[in-house]
Amino acid sequence: MASEKPVNLKKHKKRRPSDSSGRVCIIHNSNLSNYGDVKPLTEIGWKKICDIKCIRLQSDNPKIKLSNICEQISEAPNDFCHGYHRPCYQTFTSLRQTEKRKANEQEEHSPRKKRTLNSQGTTLLLPSDQCLFCKKKNKYVKRKQDYLVKCVTETAKMSILNAAQQKSDSRVLGIAETACLIAREAHYHESCRCDYTRNVAHTTLPTSTCNIETQSKMEEAHSQAFHYICDYVQKHIIDNAKVLLKTD
């Protein structure tokens, strides 16, 4: 069958080395040696790579910025074909403490931080009292208030971006284009994000689950179990005045 012809990954060896697992190193640094296997991406590893990428890209020093490596980092990594070499990961993520501190200080003390429009092109924060999707502050789901949450995880960010791309939602894509949703501190209702990202094929890491959905299912199961016990107690213990052994 023609469709099952093995893909010749060796062709890409020069640019993005891969190994027998078929994974390519997304942070490959060709100045190193003893690469070893391409390790699969973990969620923690991926988050660290993104954090370091954010810090590196803020730097004016090309040696710190490593833009050629940052550029090859995929926005939506694929579990099956992306990974990293340990030495590449170590080199990429070992930023001198001073650089990290500098990046943090810039973020914390920037006087322009709270502005929504900024001619200097630094990170523009999104309003913290407005949902990215419904643009409202207060929302109630099943009579419970759904509070606004800040976009802090890569998983959440990627699920939104992925959905926005598939929906060709220029508004959300435009917002995410200026700076990443995490850096811009996007806020949203978890239920709105679930609605927004529902029915969208996942090309991101397979960890994006809708917590609110899982949670309400769990609650439902709990309440069913509780009712079952209540019924049982009512029928067998109270009605029949039966003495129940602990092991029953």
The residue (of 41 and 103) whose beta carbon lies closer to Zn ion is 41
Does 151 bind Zn ion (CB under 5 A)? Our answer is: no
Does 193 bind Zn ion (CB under 5 A)? Our answer is: no
**How many CA atoms are closer than 13 Å to the CA of 232, on its beta-carbon side?**
9
Taking CB under 5 A as the criterion, which residues in 155-184 touch Zn ion?
Answer: none
Contact between 138 and 148 under an 8 Å Cβ cutoff? The reply is no
Distance in angstroms (rounded) separating the CA atoms of residues 210 and 213: 5
The residue (of 180 and 192) whose beta carbon lies closer to Zn ion is 192
The residue (of 88 and 179) whose beta carbon lies closer to Zn ion is 88
Report how far apart, in Å, the C-alpha atoms of 179 and of each of 54, 58, 95 are. Answer: 10, 11, 21
Report how far apart, in Å, the C-alpha atoms of 242 and of each of 69, 236, 238 are. Answer: 73, 6, 7
At closest approach, how far in Å is the CB of 146 from Zn ion?
7
Does 189 bind Zn ion (CB under 5 A)? Our answer is: yes
Does 103 bind Zn ion (CB under 5 A)? Our answer is: no
- The site string for Zn ion over 2-31 (x = CB under 5 A, - otherwise) reads -----------------------x--x---
Count of other CB atoms within 10 angstroms of residue 246: 4
Token readout for 102 is 């500098």
Does 82 bind Zn ion (CB under 5 A)? Our answer is: no
Candidates 208, 185, 45, 55; CA nearest to 125 is 185
- The site string for Zn ion over 113-132 (x = CB under 5 A, - otherwise) reads ------------------x-
Distance in angstroms (rounded) separating the CA atoms of residues 80 and 240: 60
- Site size for Zn ion (CB under 5 A): 9
Stretch that binds Zn ion, among 77-85, 109-117, 208-216, 236-244 (CB under 5 A): 77-85
Contact between 63 and 95 under an 8 Å Cβ cutoff? The reply is no
Q: In the set 53, 85, 187, 193, which binds Zn ion (CB under 5 A)?
A: 85
Does 187 bind Zn ion (CB under 5 A)? Our answer is: no
Residues lying near Zn ion in the complex (CB under 5 A) are found at 25, 28, 85, 88, 131, 133-134, 189, 192
